[in-house]
Amino acid sequence: MASDKRQVILDTASDLMASFLYYDRKEDEDLGRGEIEAAITQGVVTLDELLAIFRKELEGAINGK
């Protein structure tokens, strides 16, 4: 049972990334598809910076902050 829940959570996180990078960008006039990846490649923003934001927000939500 716990491993099933674990897989659902991991799959949901994977879907979140797909939305962040692709599906949510389809009609976004300010940040279109491929622009996040390009910004990382060009050094505009780093992968570590983005991951730190996701981590901070997730920890804040879990800890009630």
Residue 45 makes CB contacts below 8 A (sequence gap 6+) with 36, 39
Q: Say yes or no to pLDDT of 52 above 90.
A: yes
Contact 5, 13 (CB under 8 A): no
- What pTM was computed for the model? 0.82
- pLDDT 10s digits, 5-50: 999 999 999 999 999 999 999 899 999 999 999 999 999 999 999 9
Q: Can you give the residue range of the structural domain that contains 41?
A: 2-63
The total of other beta-carbon atoms located within 10 Å of residue 35's CB is 14
Distances (CA, A) of 11 to 14, 15, 34: 5, 6, 22
- Report d(CA 45, CA 51) in Å as an integer: 11
Q: How many domains does the chain have?
A: 1
